[in-house]
């Protein structure tokens, strides 16, 4: 048997996977029935907490005067570093970090001492009977801080750069060949520096925690998190509770983009406050606090050196990144990965430098590393093309990587050429005048740009449970989250097809750590992991039911060998003679089984489910001779095409046309998938043209921590977008062939915009965001 996925052998015509189903949670969302974390308002005795934060970025709390605040009506408690109960563990210790797992990304918890490390660091938690009372009391609270001179960023004159190498996973980059020598010898050399402003995730739904101690040693938290299991693990360690005594519930999310992956201080502070006062506590971050409470994409600079032949073949790539990190953690997104893997190039080297500054720890933000890294390599490829008079697509084809340059492994699948071809066709790339700065529409300078995107298939694993009822409906459960992108819908589709029932007959329950543990919605792993584990769980269920059938004298399958039985769209039948068999419902009813449960551990990115599913179904694996999936490199790919109109007098850039063509393995639902790609591309257009959070160089305080001052694209900024998928059947990823598309959507998009501006104006902008002042300044320079 070849290695095409088992799912589509048995469910080829059952038809709901791959269909553009509308979101099954859509009605609940638009009618307000969908309950978000801040909306658990009916808990008995619920009270409200607000954070009082520091105005200065560095210093020490010298005095706290609570007297006026205490006199305010409704005040129940004011917690500061002097009286907040101590957590059992914090991630400041190695023991704490190990117990907390991957979500303890920022190792600092405020309110443990008088020290202030970053602007808007919480200095008090004020709890009152109403939100307004808590806000009023917080306003009356007097906290005096002796300020010290902060460091604002890696660009600060006092910044001390260091190389973290072994301290974080991006520090050591895969070195191949002799990059410096190859660069020096290259006939064509390009060196350029790219900068990226601090960006914030700005999900529509702010961080919110409702902490409810159901007993002295049992906590339920309604929280806005991308992964309930990660959160449960970290919180239980913070609080010194067994993991199953902490329950985390996240039924709906209004976005996250990475910012809701790690556990952040407000959640821990709300839980500690709730315990201390013995009532459920609700703490919702304000929009300004969203800029100082849940991480950000770090401000950074990359220098890329490219050596090439006169024919445009890459000979050397040297990448250097410098960025800002917090006083405690060596976090930096790993930009070099995509520079290393995107094109065939014999020599590569990367280094990373960090500077500590008075800012909280940065965090994962949509395609961490790949997104800014692609801006560097994809701008440089465009420069190289222009310098050598080669079409931008052609230069990418000349450097096409037929195997993974990072590991030398063959790709599990790669349809990037098809993405280029289809994208060019949809966009009308052949109408592009190869000369820069000559295409006009009235007064406007018109430019066409394109760029490549790619994102790795990270390994994920998780459990799912499927309970099938004899009346033909099913309940599917996993401790997954729907970040807003359609998890409820796509997993319902997968379960329906696996079971051979209609999607209306499936209820998918997620968002609760009491459900089977699975991966977070992050790293583009959710769809593939959840789908695969549901597939495996259904195989487990069929295996149990097959045993029932072969022992049942009334079954057409009586005394058949279980390995000779297959299940096709809910019908158990003999492989050799499909007419001999029966529907699961008939069998279950006759056997007095009102329902039956299957469970499974799905593993993703390792090609594990197929073998496991076969072993489960047949009692043995028949994949012994199959290529080892671990010997393949797994990535999604895509190509983005952008048209801009640049106003030469105002310097404004308007994106007037957009095409994204993505190859991400099996597309479970083209409607929700299309929204994912549009969302990622819009976020990339935002980072390209407007998004930047500015820290005051002297005070290290954000000057634009609001949605009035931090600009994100609105509908009027975005043209009609064309999104297409290349149909890709990847036999190695997992039983479902799903690669994940949440992040490949943004990779390359900033470069596509920058390349279009270059084509329109003949000016290369390398400082993000490319705001009108920078465009005008560039236009004043000679081309």
Could you list the residues that contact ligand MOS (CB under 6 A)? 226, 256-258, 261, 364-366, 368, 522-523
Report the nearest approach of ligand MOS to the CB of residue 105 (Å): 11
Nearer to ligand MOS, 555 or 745 (CB): 745
- Token digits for 780? 């004043």
**Contact between residue 756 and residue 448 where contact means Cβ atoms under 8 Å apart:** yes
Sign of the alpha-carbon torsion through 376, 377, 380, 382:
negative
Report the nearest approach of ligand MOS to the CB of residue 157 (Å): 32
Nearer to ligand MOS, 36 or 117 (CB): 36
Report the nearest approach of ligand MOS to the CB of residue 7 (Å): 25
Nearer to ligand MOS, 61 or 525 (CB): 525
Report the nearest approach of ligand MOS to the CB of residue 598 (Å): 29
Report the nearest approach of ligand MOS to the CB of residue 191 (Å): 30
Identify the CA nearest to 136 among candidates 68, 61, 211, 208: 68
Report the nearest approach of ligand MOS to the CB of residue 673 (Å): 16
Nearer to ligand MOS, 203 or 449 (CB): 203
* Chain mean position to CA 65: 42
Nearer to ligand MOS, 485 or 755 (CB): 485
Report the nearest approach of ligand MOS to the CB of residue 248 (Å): 17
What gap in Å lies between CA 140 and CA 65, rounded to an integer? 9
79, 268, 283, 405 from 280: Cα distances, Å: 15, 13, 10, 53
What gap in Å lies between CA 404 and CA 409, rounded to an integer? 5
Report the nearest approach of ligand MOS to the CB of residue 218 (Å): 29
Query: What are the strands of the beta sheet with 188-196, ordered from one edge?
Result: 161-162, 348-356, 314-325, 300-308, 188-196, 767-768
Question: Residues 341, 342, 346, CA angle at the centre, nearest 5°?
Answer: 65
**Looking at residue 410, what DSSP letter applies?**
B
Q: Which residue in this structure is represented by tokens 């918890």?
A: 109
Helices assigned H by DSSP within 647-738: 670-689
Cis omega (within 30 of 0) for bond into 769: yes
What gap in Å lies between CA 412 and CA 337, rounded to an integer? 18
Nearer to ligand MOS, 456 or 713 (CB): 456
Report the nearest approach of ligand MOS to the CB of residue 510 (Å): 16
Q: For residue 505, how many other CB atoms are within 10 A of its CB?
A: 16
**DSSP code string of 99-150:** HHGGG--S---SSSSSEE-STT-EEEEEEESSHHHHHHHHHH-EEEEEE---
25, 68, 516 from 498: Cα distances, Å: 21, 63, 19
65, 709, 730, 758 from 774: Cα distances, Å: 47, 18, 43, 13
Which residues are CB-neighbours of 764 under 8 A, at least 6 positions away?
192, 379, 383, 754, 758, 778
What gap in Å lies between CA 126 and CA 75, rounded to an integer? 8
Nearer to ligand MOS, 248 or 778 (CB): 248
**Residue 646: strand, helix, or coil:** strand
**Looking at residue 557, what DSSP letter applies?**
T
* Chain mean position to CA 576: 45
Report the nearest approach of ligand MOS to the CB of residue 688 (Å): 18
Nearer to ligand MOS, 222 or 364 (CB): 364
Which residues are CB-neighbours of 285 under 8 A, at least 6 positions away?
51, 206, 207, 208, 266, 293, 294
**Contact between residue 58 and residue 700 where contact means Cβ atoms under 8 Å apart:** yes
Q: For residue 627, how many other CB atoms are within 10 A of its CB?
A: 14
Report the nearest approach of ligand MOS to the CB of residue 458 (Å): 8
Nearer to ligand MOS, 503 or 523 (CB): 523
Nearer to ligand MOS, 646 or 688 (CB): 688
Report the nearest approach of ligand MOS to the CB of residue 371 (Å): 9
515, 593, 595 from 491: Cα distances, Å: 15, 25, 20
What gap in Å lies between CA 263 and CA 250, rounded to an integer? 14
252, 674, 761 from 487: Cα distances, Å: 10, 14, 42
What gap in Å lies between CA 373 and CA 333, rounded to an integer? 9
Report the nearest approach of ligand MOS to the CB of residue 749 (Å): 15
Nearer to ligand MOS, 21 or 519 (CB): 519
216, 222, 279, 318 from 128: Cα distances, Å: 21, 19, 11, 56
What gap in Å lies between CA 586 and CA 495, rounded to an integer? 20
Nearer to ligand MOS, 447 or 680 (CB): 680
* Chain mean position to CA 332: 16
Nearer to ligand MOS, 150 or 368 (CB): 368
**What are the catalytic residues?**
743
**Which residue minimizes CB distance to ligand MOS?**
258
């Amino acid at each position: 048997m070849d290695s095409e996925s088992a799912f589509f052998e048995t469910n080829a015509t059952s038809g709901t996977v791959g269909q553009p189903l509308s979101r099954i949670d859509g009605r609940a969302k638009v009618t307000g029935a969908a309950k978000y974390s801040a909306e658990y308002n009916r808990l008995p005795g619920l009270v409200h907490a607000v954070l009082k934060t520091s105005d200065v970025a560095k210093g020490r709390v010298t005095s706290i005067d609570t007297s006026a605040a205490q006199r305010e009506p409704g005040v129940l408690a004011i917690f500061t570093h002097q009286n907040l109960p101590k957590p059992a563990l914090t991630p400041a210790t190695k023991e704490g970090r190990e117990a907390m797992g991957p979500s303890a990304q920022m190792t600092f918890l405020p309110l443990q001492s008088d020290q202030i490390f970053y602007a808007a660091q919480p200095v008090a938690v004020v709890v009152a009977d109403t939100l307004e009372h808590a806000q009023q009391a917080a306003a009356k609270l007097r906290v005096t801080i002796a300020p010290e001179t902060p460091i604002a960023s890696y660009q600060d004159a006092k910044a001390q750069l260091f190389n973290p190498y072994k301290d974080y996973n991006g520090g050591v980059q895969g070195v191949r060949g002799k990059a410096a020598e190859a660069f020096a010898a290259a006939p064509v050399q390009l060196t350029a520096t790219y900068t990226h402003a601090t960006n914030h995730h700005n999900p529509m739904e702010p961080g919110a925690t409702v902490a409810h101690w159901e007993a002295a040693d049992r906590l339920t938290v309604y929280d806005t998190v991308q992964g309930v299991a990660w959160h449960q693990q970290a919180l239980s360690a913070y609080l010194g509770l067994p993991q199953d005594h902490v329950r985390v519930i996240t039924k709906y999310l209004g976005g996250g983009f990475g910012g809701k992956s790690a556990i952040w201080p407000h959640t821990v502070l709300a839980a500690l406050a709730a315990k201390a006062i013995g009532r459920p506590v609700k703490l919702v971050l304000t929009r300004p606090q969203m800029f100082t409470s849940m991480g950000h994409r770090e401000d950074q600079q990359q220098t890329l050196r490219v050596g090439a032949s006169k024919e445009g073949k890459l000979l050397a790539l040297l990448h250097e990144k410098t960025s800002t990190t917090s006083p405690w953690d060596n976090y930096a997104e790993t930009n070099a990965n995509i520079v290393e893997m995107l094109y065939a190039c014999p020599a590569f080297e990367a280094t990373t430098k960090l500077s500590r500054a008075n800012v909280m720890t940065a965090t994962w933000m949509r395609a961490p590393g790949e997104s800014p890294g692609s801006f560097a390599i994809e701008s440089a490829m465009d420069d190289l093309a222009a310098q050598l008079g080669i079409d931008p697509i052609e230069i990418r084809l000349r450097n096409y990587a037929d195997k993974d340059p990072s590991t030398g492994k063959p790709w599990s699948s790669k349809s990037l050429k098809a993405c280029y071809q289809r994208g060019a066709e949809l966009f009308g790339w052949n109408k592009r005048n190869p000369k820069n700065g000559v295409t006009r529409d009235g007064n406007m300078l018109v430019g066409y740009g394109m760029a490549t995107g790619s994102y790795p298939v990270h390994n994920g694993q998780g459990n799912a449970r499927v309970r099938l009822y004899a009346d033909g409906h099913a309940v599917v459960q996993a401790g997954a989250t729907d970040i807003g992108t359609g998890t409820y819908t796509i997993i319902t589709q997968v379960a329906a097809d696996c079971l051979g029932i209609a999607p209306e007959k499936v209820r998918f329950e997620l968002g609760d750590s009491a459900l089977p543990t699975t991966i977070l919605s992050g790293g583009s792993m959710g769809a593939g992991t959840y789908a695969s584990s549901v597939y495996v769980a259904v195989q487990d269920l069929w295996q149990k039911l097959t045993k029932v059938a072969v022992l049942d004298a009334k079954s057409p399958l009586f005394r058949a060998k279980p390995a000779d039985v297959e299940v096709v769209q809910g019908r158990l039948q003999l492989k050799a003679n499909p007419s001999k068999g029966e529907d699961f419902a008939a069998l279950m009813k006759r056997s007095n089984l009102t329902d039956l449960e299957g469970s499974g551990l799905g593993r993703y990115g390792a090609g594990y489910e197929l073998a496991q599913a076969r072993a489960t179904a047949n009692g043995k694996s028949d994949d012994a001779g199959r290529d080892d999936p671990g010997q393949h490199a797994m990535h999604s790919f895509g190509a983005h095409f952008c048209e801009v109109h640049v106003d030469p007098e105002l310097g404004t850039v308007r994106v007037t046309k957009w095409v994204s063509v993505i190859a991400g393995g099996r597309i479970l639902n083209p409607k929700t998938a299309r929204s994912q790609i549009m969302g990622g591309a819009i976020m990339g257009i935002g980072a390209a043209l407007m998004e930047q959070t500015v820290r005051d160089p002297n005070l290290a305080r954000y000057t634009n921590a609001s949605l009035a001052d931090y600009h994100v694209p609105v509908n009027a900024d975005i043209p009609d977008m064309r999104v297409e998928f290349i149909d890709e059947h990847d036999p190695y990823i997992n039983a479902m062939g799903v690669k994940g598309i949440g992040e490949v959507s943004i990779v390359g998009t900033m470069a596509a915009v920058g390349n279009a501006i270059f084509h329109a104006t003949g000016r290369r902008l390398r400082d993000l965001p490319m705001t009108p002042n920078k465009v005008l300044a560039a236009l004043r320079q000679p081309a």
